[in-house]
């Protein structure tokens, strides 16, 4: 039996459980708290923060290979473990250009991938934003941003801090604002022998910069799919990447695909694959990092919709009545992450509904509305 170490014990690690069982793999999880979602499914837990390399050294002693559900690691410290023989997939060298948003943009520019114009910010953020691209513009914390935290959309001068008050001491990246038609995402995987598998292109919808819904419904124009797939293949190949990667894109009105961001792990936009694909993204990740043949990414149904159940208050409820109502929706698969506390914006669970061949986008939108009416208070 293979033992796979997973750095991070949140819902992404938790959702590897079924695939691990199917593939006879044991998961050892490194995570800071015994209440983290994946502790309940791990064979063993190393109780340590994600960036704690001493914890990862312990993990390495217990596992054949180590992978990531959270990339906010201490790469220089992990490199020492790799030098001592620890096996990481994806390899640490593939992560080096991805963990800092400016480095990621520079890497993408180097390999010729289309994306928004960007600039490193030195000096005053407000002056930089106004001088570089004018308004609207987007400021992003270069490191440790997730779920829109650390992303500031500057629409008007009212959104700007007064000149002189906001220095770039937290290392910001500035981007042009893309007036996108919609946002797309795709999951792609690459195995140790270089085989690649690409999942269907999906539409994601964000509310306040956090993903709220994923639609696996549209037959995108062939040129759009070709742009997405060319970018995904080129990135995986250039990084000699092993594992699953999430790609987020903007689709412009003239049907150009621009990369927003890469996530070197399983991703929220791929949760639908648990219920709607031959091989889920979680199984694919385990297959890739264990050197098993990759599985098919084909849909097993007519499509799907996924809605994130985001916290809308600070509470400790398990929302049993809402969970019950959501599970009654036909063809619904409810995933409840069993987090101990809700707070606004926190991902508490998700629901995927598989569609049959006769259901179209408007059916999918009606299902989304039904889910959101159950879960969200009207104002959220």
Alpha-helix residue ranges (DSSP H) falling in the chain: 11-14, 17-22, 53-62, 75-83, 92-95, 101-110, 125-132, 222-238, 273-276, 281-289, 320-327, 361-375
Give me the least distance between CB of 179 and ligand ADP, in Å please. Answer: 7
Give me the least distance between CB of 295 and ligand ADP, in Å please. Answer: 27
Q: Where are the beta strands (DSSP E) in the chain?
A: 2-7, 25-31, 44-47, 65-68, 118-120, 137-141, 151-154, 172-176, 182-190, 196-198, 202-207, 210-216, 243-251, 257-263, 303-310, 332-336, 347-355
Q: Is 52 or 175 the residue whose CB approaches ligand ADP more closely?
A: 175
Q: Quick one: how far is CA 365 from the chain centroid?
A: 23
Q: How many other C-beta atoms are found inside a 10 Å radius of the C-beta of residue 118? A: 21
Q: Is 69 or 261 the residue whose CB approaches ligand ADP more closely?
A: 261
213 binds ligand ADP (CB under 6 A): no
Of 46, 59, 138, 367, the one binding ligand ADP by CB under 6 A: 138
SS3 38: helix
Q: Cis link prior to 146 (omega < 30° from 0)?
A: no
Q: Phi, psi (5° rounding) for residue 223?
A: -70, -30
206 binds ligand ADP (CB under 6 A): yes
Of 36, 52, 261, 283, the one binding ligand ADP by CB under 6 A: 261
How far apart (Å, rounded) are the C-alpha atoms in residues 118 and 153? 14
132 binds ligand ADP (CB under 6 A): no
279 binds ligand ADP (CB under 6 A): no
How far apart (Å, rounded) are the C-alpha atoms in residues 179 and 254? 11
Q: Is 71 or 183 the residue whose CB approaches ligand ADP more closely?
A: 183
Contact by Cβ (8 Å): 279, 86: no
203 binds ligand ADP (CB under 6 A): no
142 binds ligand ADP (CB under 6 A): no
350 binds ligand ADP (CB under 6 A): no
Of 57, 79, 99, 148, the one binding ligand ADP by CB under 6 A: 148
Of 183, 203, 275, 283, the one binding ligand ADP by CB under 6 A: 183
Of 178, 232, 277, 294, the one binding ligand ADP by CB under 6 A: 178
Of 62, 79, 132, 209, the one binding ligand ADP by CB under 6 A: 209
Q: How many other C-beta atoms are found inside a 10 Å radius of the C-beta of residue 180? A: 16
Of 146, 157, 221, 356, the one binding ligand ADP by CB under 6 A: 146
Q: Is 16 or 211 the residue whose CB approaches ligand ADP more closely?
A: 211
Residues of this chain that bind ligand ADP (CB under 6 A): 116, 138, 140, 145-151, 175, 177-178, 183, 206, 209, 248, 260-261
């Amino acid at each position: 039996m293979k033992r796979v170490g997973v750095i991070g014990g949140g819902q992404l690690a938790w959702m590897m459980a079924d695939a691990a069982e199917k593939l006879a793999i044991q998961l050892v999880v490194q995570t800071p708290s015994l209440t983290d979602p994946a502790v309940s499914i791990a064979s063993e837990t190393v109780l340590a923060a994600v960036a704690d390399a001493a914890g990862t050294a312990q993990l390495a002693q217990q596992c054949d290979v180590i992978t990531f559900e959270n990339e906010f690691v201490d790469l220089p410290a992990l490199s020492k473990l790799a030098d001592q023989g620890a096996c990481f997939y994806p390899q640490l060298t593939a992560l080096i250009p991805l963990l800092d948003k400016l480095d990621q943009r520079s890497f993408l520019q180097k390999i010729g991938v289309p994306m928004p114009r960007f600039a490193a910010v030195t000096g005053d953020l407000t002056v930089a934003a106004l001088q570089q691209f004018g308004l609207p513009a987007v400021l992003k914390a270069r490191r440790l941003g997730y779920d829109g935290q650390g992303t500031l959309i500057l629409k008007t001068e009212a959104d700007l801090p007064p000149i002189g008050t906001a220095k770039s001491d937290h290392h910001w990246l500035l981007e042009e604002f893309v007036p996108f038609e919609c946002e797309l995402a795709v999951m792609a995987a690459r195995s140790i022998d270089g085989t690649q598998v690409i999942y269907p292109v999906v539409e994601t919808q964000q509310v306040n910069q956090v993903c709220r819904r994923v639609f696996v419904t549209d037959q995108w124009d062939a040129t759009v799919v070709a742009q997405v797939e060319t970018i995904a293949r080129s990135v995986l190949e250039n990084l000699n990447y092993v594992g699953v990667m999430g790609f987020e894109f903007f689709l412009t009105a003239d049907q150009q695909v621009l990369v927003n961001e890469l996530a070197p792990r399983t991703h929220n936009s791929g949760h639908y694959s648990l219920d709607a694909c031959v091989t889920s993204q979680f199984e694919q990740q385990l297959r890739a990092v264990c050197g098993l043949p990759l599985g098919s990414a084909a849909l097993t149904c007519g499509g799907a919709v996924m809605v994130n159940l985001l916290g809308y208050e600070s509470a400790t409820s398990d929302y049993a009545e809402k969970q019950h109502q959501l599970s009654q929706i036909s063809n619904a698969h409810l995933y409840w992450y069993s987090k101990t506390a809700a707070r606004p914006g926190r991902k508490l669970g998700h629901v995927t509904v598989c569609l049959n061949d006769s259901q179209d986008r408007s059916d999918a939108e009606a299902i989304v509305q039904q889910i959101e009416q159950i879960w969200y208070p009207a104002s959220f």
